[in-house]
Copies of this chain bind each other. A is one copy, B any other.
Amino acid sequence: MSEEAVLEEGSAVLEHPFLKQMIVQLRAVDSYGTYDTWSDAKVLDPMILTKARRREIPVVGDPDETTISRVKAFYNGLAQMIEKETGIMAVPVINLTHEGFGRAMIVVGKLVALDKTLRDVHRFGFETPEKLIEDAEKLISKAVELVTQFKEVAKL
């Protein structure tokens, strides 16, 4: 990945609630304390895969532990937001083969509120921070809608 940062320090977009949540989640899965001395912008930066950055990643490859932890952080963040909006516990479940294929689900009670096939996880990322927010908000609102529609199952 290119060494140049995409996200600027103190950039206004970092104040968006979902990006703030993402930063919390990324720090939460950082078991070795690598991010302890990093700024929020630096922690979030690898989630942004601009076209130039994407070109530098081979099409076929196995995801490393750090990339997988970012996928987990993303779904943990979604689960947190869904929980906040619905008031019911939301649990992320991620199943990945070592080749980076699999499935991500967010389970609320007995309801699968979100279900996504994961592919090419070694290239996980979003073109811009705005795209990350947009994708997350779409997923959250769809999940919340489902929970509202099938509240009885979500409360089981």
Q: Taking beta carbons and an 8 Å cutoff, which residues of A are in contact with B?
A: 93-95, 103, 105, 107, 109-113, 115, 146, 150, 152-153
Residues of B within 8 A of A107 (CB): 105, 112, 115
A65, chain B: closest CB distance, angstroms: 14
- What's the dominant secondary structure at chain A's contact region? strand
Contacts of A95 in B (CB 8 A): 93-95
Inter-chain contacts of A111 with B (CB < 8 A): 110-112, 153
Identify which of B93, B94, B146 contacts A110 (C-beta below 8 A): B146
Cβ of A93: which chain B residues have Cβ within 8 Å of it?
93, 95, 103, 105
A115 touching B110, Cβ below 8 Å: yes
* Docked complex Cα distance between A113 and B153 (Å): 10
Q: Which residues of B contact A152 (CB under 8 A)?
A: 150
Distance, CA A153 to CA B113, complexed state (A): 10
A146 contact set on B, CB distance < 8 A: 110
Chain B residues in 8 Å Cβ range of A153: 111, 150, 153
Shortest CB–CB separation between residue A96 and chain B, in angstroms? 10
Known: A107-B115, A150-B152. 16 other contacts (CB 8 A): A93-B103, A93-B105, A95-B95, A105-B107, A107-B112, A109-B112, A110-B111, A110-B112, A110-B115, A110-B146, A110-B150, A111-B111, A111-B112, A112-B112, A150-B150, A153-B153
